[in-house]
Structure 1
Amino acid sequence: MPHSAHNTQLATREHTQYGYVDGAGIEVLHARFEHHRFATHAHDTWAIGAVLRGAKDSMTSARQPSIVNAGEVYAIPPHVAHAGMSIGNHGCEYVMLYVPDAEWQLQCDIHSVSPHAFSQPVKMRRAMAPFVQFAALSMQSSHMSSTWPDEWALLCEAVLGSMNDRDASAQSSSIVADKRLRDVQAYLQAFSGRNVPLDELAREASLSASELCRRFTAAFGLSPHRYQLVLRLKTAKHLLLDGVTPSAAAAATGFADQSHLGRHFKAVFGVTPGAVARRNSARTF
Structure 2
Amino acid sequence: MSGSLRLAQLGDQPGFEVAGATLGGHRFERHSHDEFVISANLRGEESVWLDGRTFDAGPGCFTCYNPGQIQGGGVSEGQPWQFVSLYVASDQLAAMLGLQRLEFERSTDRLPVLTAATADAVERALGDDAFVRQRGEERLTLLLAEIARAMGVRLPQERLESGGRIADLQDWLAADLARQPSLDEMAAYLGLSRFHLLRSFQKQVGLSPRQWAMQLRTRRAQALLRAGLPATEVAHELGFADQSHLNRHFRAAYGVSPGSFQRAVR
Specify the TM-score bucket, using the shorter chain as the normaliser: 0.3 to 0.5
Larger radius of gyration: 2
Relative to the length of structure 1, the TM-score reads: 0.45
Relative to the length of structure 2, the TM-score reads: 0.48
RCO (CA 8 Å, sep 6+): is it higher in 1 or 2? 1
